[in-house]
Amino acid sequence: MITTIEKLAEHVDQTVTLRGWIYNKSSKGKLHFVQLRDGTGVCQCVAFKKDVDEELFENIGQAGQESSLSLTGQVRADDRAPGGFELSIQSGQVHQIVDGYPITPKDHGTDFLLSRRHLWLRSRRQWAVMRIRDAVITGLRNFFDREGFVCVDSPMFTPNACEGTSTLFNLDYFDRQAFLTQSGQLYAEASAMALGKVFCFGPTFRAEKSKTRRHLTEFWMLEPEMAYAELEDVLSLAENMLSATVAHVIEHRGPELEVLERSVETLQKIVPPFPRMTYDEAAKILAEHPDSSFEYGEDFGAPDETILSNLNDKPLMVTHYPSAVKAFYMKRDPKDDSKCLCVDVLGTEGVGELIGGSQREDSLDLLLERIQEHDLSMEAFEWYLDLRRYGSVPHGGFGLGLERCVGWICGVEHVRECIPFPRTMQRMEP
Ligand code: 4AD
Ligand code: MG
């Protein structure tokens, strides 16, 4: 019977076939120990010379790291074996004998590995991150489904900017210019007016000249948007969503968190309610902090976010930023026109911004003013203005950067390890 390593517990003492690749191997006289990986896990498989045919024993002996093979044998439960099971090989087939796989268990530089990303994905740590990324996506989708949100995706080609014109990728779209989307939000607002509670989830693009551990030029963003919602609703959605997603990962990706040496105890603390503070309160903390060069009125820099992000063992929700540093669509605070009804959610342990969101400007006249102030093309926004002409209501939502969220949950420093094939300012290959 063909099975996978993650299902071995169901087959103790039975004879099964595993199909995979050699992760590591050692030999001792009449014995080969193969660490077989099959995509679902790693299992030690033992070949005794006397138990298998000569050719197979010979071939396993010659097969280097990443040789492909299927192995049939009896599953033994063994507490000392990594993963808890071992396969006693009876028969099998070596599909390809490999010699000289470029990524060995020794330490390689990151640049070397990034150039071989197509192979690097096979490594244990990358495997764990990709499996957790998958669980984050499932956890998010399950959450939104339970909460009654409908997935309505936004386009990637767009005629207008959403987050400011300085980070747009241009492209030729037949005989006119188009941009790659920076955010699906404006379309999600239209979808919310049609379906109530929606989210879009897809790739977004930023031509940011940032070479930090938090920036990709192509990243995935999940953006919920709710009709009849105010800032308070946006805040509680954000904390409930993050908590539910972390809980889903803890439940379904225990072994992967272990590979990454990520403390489950730390993650278990991520439950609502999250601490909140206003921009002004955060500014006061930074002003008194020796490591901050923050100036009041500016957006927080990465070092400032790191300081704030280290204050609590739950994500921090910072609200009411100066409208001058935020996007045109954010609604101003009726109590203080210089601030807007927005939130940035900063992860724990210094990771910085995971989520940016707001209540949206719902007045046609004010939105017209904002578009002018930001020097945006009125023509391109005509359709968006219709949402304020026909049945405008208070509404809001946010965007969660998937890779930042995955990095935070994994305890992985750099977002480039949190997407299968990272695109950054310096790198578009492989
Ligand atoms: O804060 P941002 O720019 O917000 C928006 O785009 C809104 N339109 C979202 C909305 O309200 N629907 O981006 C949202 C999140 C950030 O908090 C961050 O997690 C992630 O997207 N992000 C990036 N992730 C990786 N690389 C980049 N260059 C990123 N820029 C933003
Ligand atoms: Mg932001």
Ligand 1 lined by 305 (C-beta under 6 Å):
no
Give the pLDDT of residue 81: 86
Q: Report the nearest atom of ligand 1 relative to the CA of 188.
A: 12
Q: Report the nearest atom of ligand 1 relative to the CA of 357.
A: 11
Under 8 Å between Cβ of 222 and 199: yes
Residue 177 identity (one-letter amino acid):
Q
Under 8 Å between Cβ of 79 and 69: no
Q: Comparing C-alpha atoms, which of 280, 270, 361, 273 is closest to residue 318?
A: 280
Segment 337-352, tens digit of pLDDT: 999 999 999 999 999 9
H helix and E strand count, the chain: 13, 18
Can you read off the two tokens belonging to residue 384? Answer: 């968006």
Residue of the nearest CA to atom 24 in ligand 1? Answer: 401
Residue of the nearest CA to atom 27 in ligand 1? Answer: 215
Q: b/e map of 54-84 (b: 16 or more CB within 10 Å)?
A: eebbebbeebebbbebbbbbebbeeeeeebe
At residue 373, φ and ψ (nearest 5 deg) are -55, -40
Give the pLDDT of residue 66: 98
Residue of the nearest CA to atom 20 in ligand 1? Answer: 401
For the domain bounded by 5-96, which CATH number is listed? Answer: 2.40.50.140
Ligand 1 lined by 398 (C-beta under 6 Å):
yes
Residue 386 identity (one-letter amino acid):
D
Please, which residues bridge with residue 172 across strands?
Answer: 177
Largest CA distance in the chain: 85
Q: How far is the CA of 191 from the centre of ligand 1 (A)?
A: 19
Q: Label each residue of 156-219 as H, E or C.
A: CEECCCCCCHHHCCEEEECCEEEEECCCCHHHHHHHHHHHCEEEEEEEEECCCCCCCCCCCCEE
Per CATH, which fold does 117-149+229-418 belong to? BirA Bifunctional Protein; domain 2 (3.30.930)
Residue of the nearest CA to atom 18 in ligand 1? Answer: 401
Give the pLDDT of residue 302: 87
Residue with tokens 């014995």: 31
Q: Report the nearest atom of ligand 1 relative to the CA of 162.
A: 8
Residue of the nearest CA to atom 21 in ligand 1? Answer: 401
Segment 381-406, tens digit of pLDDT: 999 999 999 999 999 999 999 999 99
Q: Comparing C-alpha atoms, which of 54, 22, 57 is closest to residue 37?
A: 22
Ligand 1 lined by 224 (C-beta under 6 Å):
no
Residue with tokens 């210089």: 338
Give the pLDDT of residue 27: 95
Share of the chain above pLDDT 90, in %: 92
pTM: 0.96
Ligand 1 lined by 353 (C-beta under 6 Å):
yes
Segment 121-163, tens digit of pLDDT: 999 999 999 999 999 999 999 999 999 999 999 999 999 888 8
> Per the omega criterion (within 30 degrees of 0), is the bond before 159 cis?
no
Ligand 1 lined by 355 (C-beta under 6 Å):
yes
- Ligand closest to Cα of 342 equals 1
- Ligand closest to Cα of 330 equals 1
Q: Report the nearest atom of ligand 1 relative to the CA of 216.
A: 26
3-state secondary structure of 403: helix
Q: How far apart are CA 78 and CA 317, in angstroms?
A: 46
The domains of the chain are located at 5-96, 117-149+229-418
Interval 400-422 mean pLDDT: 98
Q: How far is the CA of 201 from the centre of ligand 2 (A)?
A: 17
Ligand 1 lined by 298 (C-beta under 6 Å):
no
Helix axes 124-146, 231-252, angle to 10 degrees: 130
Q: How far is the CA of 321 from the centre of ligand 2 (A)?
A: 11
Q: How far is the CA of 92 from the centre of ligand 2 (A)?
A: 53
Q: How far is the CA of 419 from the centre of ligand 1 (A)?
A: 15
Residue of the nearest CA to atom 1 in ligand 1? Answer: 356
Segment 221-246, tens digit of pLDDT: 999 999 999 999 999 999 999 999 99
